[in-house]
Amino acid sequence: MLGAIAGDIIGSVYETRRRRIKRTDFPLFGPESTFTDDTVLTIATAEAILGDGDYAAAYRRLGRAWPHAGYGAGFRRWLASEDPRPYGSWGNGSAMRVSPVGWAFDDEDTVLTEARRSAAVTHDHPEGIKGAQAVAVAVFAARHGADKQTLRGDIARRFGYDLDRTTAAIRPTYRFDSSCQGSVPQAFICVLESTDYESAVRLAVSLGGDSDTLACIAGAVAEALYGPLPAPIVAETVRRLPPPFLNALDAFQARVRR
pLDDT digits (tens, 9 = 90+) for 67-119: 999 999 999 999 999 999 999 999 999 999 999 999 999 999 999 999 999 99
Mean pLDDT of 192-200: 98
Which amino acid is present at 114?
E
* CATH fold for domain 2-253: ADP-ribosylglycohydrolase fold (1.10.4080)
Which amino acid is present at 187?
A
Q: What are phi and psi of 35, to 5 degrees?
A: -75, 155
Evaluate if residue 179 carries a pLDDT over 90.
yes
Q: How far apart are CA 36 and CA 174, in angstroms?
A: 22
In DSSP terms, 91 is beta-bridged to 179
How much is the pLDDT for 105? 96
Evaluate if residue 124 carries a pLDDT over 90.
yes
How much is the pLDDT for 160? 96
Q: How far apart are CA 195 and CA 252, in angstroms?
A: 27
Mean pLDDT of 54-78: 97
How much is the pLDDT for 258? 62
Q: What are phi and psi of 180, to 5 degrees?
A: -60, -45
How much is the pLDDT for 55? 98
Q: How far apart are CA 186 and CA 210, in angstroms?
A: 11
User: pLDDT grade, residue 15 (50/70/90)?
Assistant: confident
Question: How high does pLDDT run on average in the chain?
Answer: 96
Q: How far apart are CA 129 and CA 254, in angstroms?
A: 28
Q: How far apart are CA 131 and CA 182, in angstroms?
A: 10
Q: How far apart are CA 194 and CA 187, in angstroms?
A: 11
